[in-house]
Amino acid sequence: MKIAVIGAKGLPPGQGGIENYCAEVYPRIVTQGHTVDLFARCSYTEGSWFGSSNYQGVQVISLPSFFRKGVDAFISSALGATLASGRQYDIVHFHALGPALFSSVTSVLRASKIVVTCQGLDWQRAKWGNFSSQVILAGEKAAVKYADEIIVVSQALQSYFSQAYKRDTVYIPNAPAGYSESDPDFAYGKALGLTQGRYLLFLGRLVPEKCPDLLIEAFLRLKYQGWKLVLAGGISDTQAYTNLMLQKVADSKQIVFAGELRGKRLAEIVRGAGLFVLPSNVEGLPLAMLEAMREGIPVLASNILPHQQLIDQERGVLFPVGDIDGFVNALKWALNHPNELASMAVNAQRHVQRYYTWDKITAQNIEVYQNLLGANKAEKTAYIV
């Protein structure tokens, strides 16, 4: 099969769940004898316009883009869809709802099968203004109308498409990324003033929908002696939001902003955490949480449906989303019940090892492709949009 991928910023992966997903899945697909071209943004790859590079067998093609919120994604996705339409691809795979807006272009001009993977309902994310949210929502409707198959990463998303559009989807979850070996002496953590097993960890982009500000407020209210809070993650068009958080905790020695971590430092800080906390109000299926679970770190999270899918059934602690009092109470319970937390962490680790693996996810993607290419559909079903 010859496959085109549209919607990822590029490879190798930096910050971003889609890029990590592509870095895990597509090299595995290449090793099985298939060809993959990934259309990327030159603002991310720093490559020349229309130049290409090789990432573990995947051809990464850098398309013109600009360092401006939303514009680079829009331009590179449009160009990627147009270029893919003019080439002989068996599969054109769009990642995320915004890029899926251009599935309409590919549908008109191609003989390829179109696949869209939805990692989350991005139009709900607070970082986007009203216009951008409407564009992303239009991409969702285009996916429903033009895609031969839609893949979703959580059961909650599968229910959403069924209820909103009467559209069947294929559920293929994310899996945790593999971590590097880390320093057993915890040298980087010590340099940050941390003690192993005695800090809460937030890992993710510092954006409003992930609610790190709520976590800061809950931690300051709790005033739990001997523990610190570490916020590790980059900024995604949210500098003003991040500045407000920094001002709020300027005088606190118990809160550490570690920035975006990678490699050995990331592995060290995750493995040293006493509790992983994710208070988001919008998620697809969070890779950071899966990674913490795989590493055996206890998890506390808001009770949105994707989190329930992962840590319900005695695999973690949930609190009512957006409820600061409930959040503080859940944190207090977790820190006062280390034995129960340890048991939950073991259950969670086993669950991830059994159900969330990249080899399985790769095989499921290939199966979707092969089923589409083997199907002889006279025409697409009409869906309500």
Is the pLDDT reported for residue 380 higher than 50? no
Same domain for 191 and 136, yes or no, is no
Q: Residue 121 falls within a domain, yes or no?
A: yes
Same domain for 205 and 110, yes or no, is no
Q: Residue 383 falls within a domain, yes or no?
A: no
Q: Residue 385 falls within a domain, yes or no?
A: no
Bigger pLDDT: 211 vs 251: 211
Contact 94, 113 (CB under 8 A): no
Q: Residue 71 falls within a domain, yes or no?
A: yes
Is the pLDDT reported for residue 382 higher than 80? no
Same domain for 101 and 201, yes or no, is no
- Per-residue confidence (pLDDT) for residue 71, from 0 to 100: 78
In one-letter notation, the amino acid at residue 218 is: A
Task: List pLDDT tens digits, range 157-184.
Answer: 999 999 999 999 999 999 998 888 999 9
- Tell me how many degrees the CA angle 19-8-379 measures, rounded to the nearest 5: 125
Same domain for 170 and 252, yes or no, is no
What mean pLDDT is predicted for residues 23-27?
96
- Per-residue confidence (pLDDT) for residue 183, from 0 to 100: 95
Q: What is the CATH number of the domain that holds 231?
A: 3.40.50.2000
Q: Residue 205 falls within a domain, yes or no?
A: yes
Bigger pLDDT: 239 vs 193: 193
Same domain for 335 and 364, yes or no, is no
Q: Residue 180 falls within a domain, yes or no?
A: no
- Tell me how many degrees the CA angle 241-244-246 measures, rounded to the nearest 5: 110
From 105-109, 192-196, 328-332, the region with the lowest mean pLDDT: 105-109
Contact 282, 120 (CB under 8 A): yes
CA distance between the termini of the chain? 31
Same domain for 158 and 24, yes or no, is yes
Q: Residue 380 falls within a domain, yes or no?
A: no
Helix intervals (H) in the chain: 17-31, 42-45, 71-85, 103-109, 130-146, 155-165, 187-191, 212-222, 239-248, 263-271, 287-294, 305-311, 324-336, 338-355, 358-374
Bigger pLDDT: 311 vs 384: 311
pLDDT bucket at 99, cuts 50 / 70 / 90: very high
Given the structure tokens 């002696």, which residue do they identify? 225
Same domain for 146 and 280, yes or no, is no
Which structural domain range is residue 192 located in? 187-355
- Per-residue confidence (pLDDT) for residue 89, from 0 to 100: 95
- Per-residue confidence (pLDDT) for residue 102, from 0 to 100: 95
What percentage of residues in the chain have a pLDDT greater than 90? 74
Q: In angstroms, what CA-CA distances link 375 with 84, 93, 116, 257, 363?
A: 21, 17, 17, 51, 18
Same domain for 6 and 153, yes or no, is yes
Is the pLDDT reported for residue 73 higher than 90? no
Is the pLDDT reported for residue 96 higher than 70? yes
Task: List pLDDT tens digits, range 324-367.
Answer: 999 999 999 999 999 999 999 999 999 999 999 999 999 999 99
Same domain for 205 and 134, yes or no, is no
Same domain for 72 and 26, yes or no, is yes
Average pLDDT, the chain: 91
What mean pLDDT is predicted for residues 180-201?
97
Is the pLDDT reported for residue 123 higher than 50? yes
Q: Residue 94 falls within a domain, yes or no?
A: yes
Residue 49, both tokens: 């316009």
Same domain for 349 and 362, yes or no, is no
Count how many domains the chain has. 2
Same domain for 147 and 60, yes or no, is yes
Q: Which of 278, 227, 288 is nearest to 252 (CA)?
A: 227
- Per-residue confidence (pLDDT) for residue 379, from 0 to 100: 44
